[in-house]
Structure 1
Amino acid sequence: MPATTRPAIAWSWHNAGLGLAYAVPAVVVTAADPSAGLAWAVGVIPAAALGLPGPRRARVAVVVVGALAGVSMVLGSLVSGTPALAVATVLALAVVVALTTANPRRRLAPLSLALGLPLVGAGLSEDPASGAGAALLILAGSVYAWLVSLLWPQGVARARAPRPVPARSVMLRYGLQIGVAGAGAAAIGFATGADHPGWACTAALLVSRPDGDALHARSVGRAASVLLGALVACGLGALHPPSVVVAGLAAAALAGACATVGSRWYVMPFFSTTIVLSMLVARGDEGTGHWFAERVGETLVGIALALAAAWVAGWIVSRPPTAG
Structure 2
Amino acid sequence: MIRSGAVTWNWRFAGYGAALGLVAVIVVFSGEVLTGTYLMIGSIAAAIVGLAPERKARRPVIIVGVLFGVSILLGSILALWVPLAVVGMFVVGYLAAQLAARKPAGVVALSVILPLTAIGLTYHGIANSAKVAGLMILGAIGSYAWAMVLPKYEGEVPQPPQLTPPEAKHYGLVLGVAGALSTLVAFALDVDYVGWLVGSTLLVIRPTWDLLSARGIGRMVSVLVGGTAAALLLLADLPTPAIAIVLWLVLVTMAATSASRWYVTPAFTSFLILWALLYGQAERNGVKVKLDERVVDTVIGVAVAYLVSGAFLLLGRVAANRPHDEARVAS
TM-score between the two structures when normalised by the length of structure 2: 0.89
Q: Structure 2 matches for 1:1-80, cutoff 5 A? A: 7-31=5-29, 32-80=31-79
* CA shift for structure 1 position 285: 8.1
Bigger Cα displacement from structure 2, 292-301 vs 185-194: 185-194
CA distance in 1, matches of 2:311, 2:236: 44
CA distance in 2, matches of 1:41, 1:218: 24
Residues 55-110 of structure 1, C-alpha deviation per residue, up to 9 Å, x if partnerless? 0122121101112222211111111111111011001221222223333xx33322
Bigger Cα displacement from structure 2, 305-314 vs 70-79: 70-79
CA distance in 2, matches of 1:158, 1:120: 31
CA distance in 1, matches of 2:184, 2:198: 9
2:169 to 172, 177, 189: 172
Hey, what does 1:151 align to over in structure 2? 149
Hey, what does 2:195 align to over in structure 1? 198
CA distance in 2, matches of 1:164, 1:23: 31
Task: Look up the SS of the partner of 1:115 in the other structure.
Answer: helix
Q: Structure 2 matches for 1:260-299, cutoff 5 A? A: 260-284=257-281, 287-299=286-298
Paired positions, count: 317
Preserved contact between residue 181 and residue 302 of structure 1 (Cα < 8 Å): no
Amino acid at match of 2:253: G
* CA shift for structure 1 position 258: 0.8
Q: Which runs of 5+ in 1 are unaligned?
A: none
1:60–1:161: structure 2 CA closer, same or farther, 3 Å change rule? Answer: closer
Q: Which has the larger radius of gyration?
A: 2
Residues 229-269 of structure 1, C-alpha deviation per residue, up to 9 Å, x if partnerless? 00000011112121122111100110001101111111111
Q: Structure 2 matches for 1:81-100, cutoff 5 A? A: 81-100=80-99
Amino acid at match of 1:268: T
CA distance in 2, matches of 1:6, 1:181: 34
Bigger Cα displacement from structure 2, 220-229 vs 92-101: 92-101
CA distance in 1, matches of 2:158, 2:16: 24
* CA shift for structure 1 position 157: 3.5
Residues 285-318 of structure 1, C-alpha deviation per residue, up to 9 Å, x if partnerless? 8721122012111111111111111111110001
Preserved contact between residue 38 and residue 136 of structure 2 (Cα < 8 Å): no
Preserved contact between residue 26 and residue 250 of structure 1 (Cα < 8 Å): no
Amino acid at match of 2:144: W
* CA shift for structure 1 position 162: 8.1
Preserved contact between residue 57 and residue 157 of structure 2 (Cα < 8 Å): no
* CA shift for structure 1 position 136: 1.9
Hey, what does 1:131 align to over in structure 2? 129
Preserved contact between residue 281 and residue 288 of structure 1 (Cα < 8 Å): yes
Q: Do structure 1's residue 111 and structure 2's residue 111 form an aligned pair?
A: no
CA distance in 2, matches of 1:41, 1:285: 23
* CA shift for structure 1 position 39: 1.9
* CA shift for structure 1 position 164: 5.2
1:43–1:176: structure 2 CA closer, same or farther, 3 Å change rule? Answer: same
Residues 195-239 of structure 1, C-alpha deviation per residue, up to 9 Å, x if partnerless? 211111111111111122111111111111110000000011112
1:152–1:185: structure 2 CA closer, same or farther, 3 Å change rule? Answer: same
CA distance in 2, matches of 1:285, 1:90: 35
Moved over 3 A (4+): 159-165
1:91–1:281: structure 2 CA closer, same or farther, 3 Å change rule? Answer: same
Preserved contact between residue 204 and residue 302 of structure 1 (Cα < 8 Å): yes
1:187 to 179, 184, 189: 184
Amino acid at match of 1:249: V
Amino acid at match of 1:138: M
CA distance in 1, matches of 2:4, 2:91: 35
Bigger Cα displacement from structure 2, 15-24 vs 197-206: 15-24
Q: Structure 2 matches for 1:182-261, cutoff 5 A? A: 182-261=179-258
Higher relative contact order (CA 8 A, sep 6+): 1
RMSD: 2.0
